[in-house]
Amino acid sequence: MVPLNFEICALFKSYLLIRLWDYATGVILTSELIPTKETNSHSPFPADDPSPRLTAQAQVAEDILDKYRNAIKRTSPSEGAMANYESAGDNHHKDLNKERIGLDDAVAQCYSAGHNRASVFSYRDAKKKLRLALCSADSVAFPVLTHSTRNGLPDHTDPEDNEIVCFLKVQIAEAINLQDKNLMAQLQETMRCVCRFDNRTCRKLLASIAEDYRKRAPYIAYLTRCRQGLQTTQAHLERLLQRVLRDKEVANRYFTTVCVRLLLESKEKKIREFIQGDFQKLTAADDKTAQVEDFLQFLYGAMAQDVIWQNASEEQLQDAQLAIERSVMNRIFKLAFYPNQDGDILRDQVLHEHIQRLSKVVTANHRALQIPEVYLREAPWPSAQSEIRTISAYKTPRDKVQCILRMCSTIMNLLSLANEDSVPGADDFVPVLVFVLIKANPPCLLSTVQYISSFYASCLSGEESYWWMQFTAAVEFIKTIDDRK
């Protein structure tokens, strides 16, 4: 409808301009502006008069106008062309206004939604940072801060700051004092985010964190139970691993002993010659010790040249040397342990009877021992007594020293258990060691001391040397105790 109205108006405007121009030039009369049927059909004109040409033009214009008048009547019988145009224009402007209003509303809604999203993100971001700050904070500082002015101390905090900001300031000061740069940056960023909120929002923030903590409490309890279960399983697996390693160690030593036995069987003739010839003829203890050392070195060299031991590890070689030493010392034990034979046996028997009489009269609080009262609760130290009683089962001086070392370690552990506030010294240890030896009364005590001193004294060092010195001192002290008192 709108393009047709524009075309009609343009044609009507052209027609009016043509008629006005003809009227101004005087070509036509005023009465010709509205022609009638009589003038259009019956007016005779001379041949040289221009009126017929103008009348024909006017007739053409009238025909054009009639055509468009009929078109206007068909398209808008109740309203004119200008009314339709104005109505269409008004409707178009109304549509544009509605579009502008809708666009403004959409922009406003988008801005409002974006602002809400930014607020939610800021709240969540502040909550996350505050949670991290509280995790690394000193919980004792906050109650002290809230009551800082009750004892008459000045309050230099900003009255507009809430408790969270004050707490963060204290934590920042502590981080500055500790020169913890990472913590300083985190706390400053947290305080920047929290300062945007008012007190109501801050309380809501704390309540939200507390609610999150409450909701996470069952999950934390679940994690704690899982952690306990994992630690129990880990301890069980570690114990199983220790058992497997111990079984592996025993199996390796047994395999090494079997291989050493094969080596010694090939050297049986040399071993007999050493025992029956060189070693048995010697009388001096130093000569016997040197002879045993030389023969052991000979066997070690033979083992190194054997095919079985070519690719053995260092640990396997050490176990093999220990097995060779045990085998050889077991073969010469009586000759080495009792060099004077019956004299040494009688001497050990006398000391054994003396200790047996002492065991009947000596108690843990005996005045000759002077054991501190704090250690009397652990008396009579049965585990240490059982350790020293097994010393006769070992044949090599090295193994006997290890047995004495285990006994001394057991006594020290029991003394430390009785008094956790102090470390027991030699004055605390020796009286207890004397009491344990009296109650255990190991056989052949003097020959044991002589045997170790002859064949292993040069190898003693460090902890072994210290405990061996304490052991010999205890044996000498037992000799001086009068069994009649």
Task: For 72-98, write each residue's pLDDT tens digit.
Answer: 455 444 444 444 444 444 554 555 455
Which residues of the chain form CATH 1.20.1050.80?
338-480
Give pLDDT tens digits for 152-201. Answer: 444 444 555 677 888 888 888 888 888 888 888 888 888 888 888 888 88
Radius of gyration, CA atoms only, the chain: 60
pLDDT attached to residue 107: 40
Identify the residue with better confidence: 156 or 130: 130
pLDDT attached to residue 438: 93
pLDDT attached to residue 258: 92
Tell me if 173 sits within 8 A of 157, measured CB to CB.
no
Closest CA to 290 of 276, 278, 302, 299: 278
CA distance 204 to 206: 5
pLDDT attached to residue 61: 61
pLDDT attached to residue 467: 94
Identify the residue with better confidence: 5 or 199: 199
Q: What is the mean pLDDT of the chain?
A: 77
- pLDDT of residue 45 exceeding 60, the answer is no
Cβ contacts of residue 15 below 8 Å, gap of 6+? 61, 64, 65
pLDDT attached to residue 283: 78
Helices (H), 199-305: 199-266, 268-273, 280-281, 285-305
Confidence of residue 411 (pLDDT cuts 50, 70, 90): very high
pLDDT attached to residue 51: 47
Domain 240-333 annotated CATH 3.30.70: no
pLDDT attached to residue 385: 92
Q: CATH says 338-480 is which class?
A: mainly alpha
CA distance 310 to 320: 13
Q: How do the residues of the chain divide into helix, strand and coil, expressed in percent and rounded to 5?
A: 80, 0, 20
Q: What backbone torsions phi and psi does residue 119 show, to the nearest 5 degrees?
A: -65, -45
pLDDT attached to residue 173: 87
Confidence of residue 449 (pLDDT cuts 50, 70, 90): very high
Which residues of the chain form CATH 1.10.246?
240-333
Give pLDDT tens digits for 314-323. Answer: 888 999 999 9
DSSP tag of 315: H
Cβ contacts of residue 167 below 8 Å, gap of 6+? 137, 141, 142, 145
> Residue 45 — left, alpha, or beta (φ > 0 → left; ψ -120 to 50 → alpha)?
beta
Give pLDDT tens digits for 365-375. Answer: 888 888 888 88
- pLDDT of residue 407 exceeding 90, the answer is yes
pLDDT attached to residue 400: 94
Helices (H), 76-140: 81-135
**Through-space distance between the first and last CA atoms of the chain, rounded to whole angstroms:** 143
CA distance 32 to 45: 15
- pLDDT of residue 43 exceeding 60, the answer is no
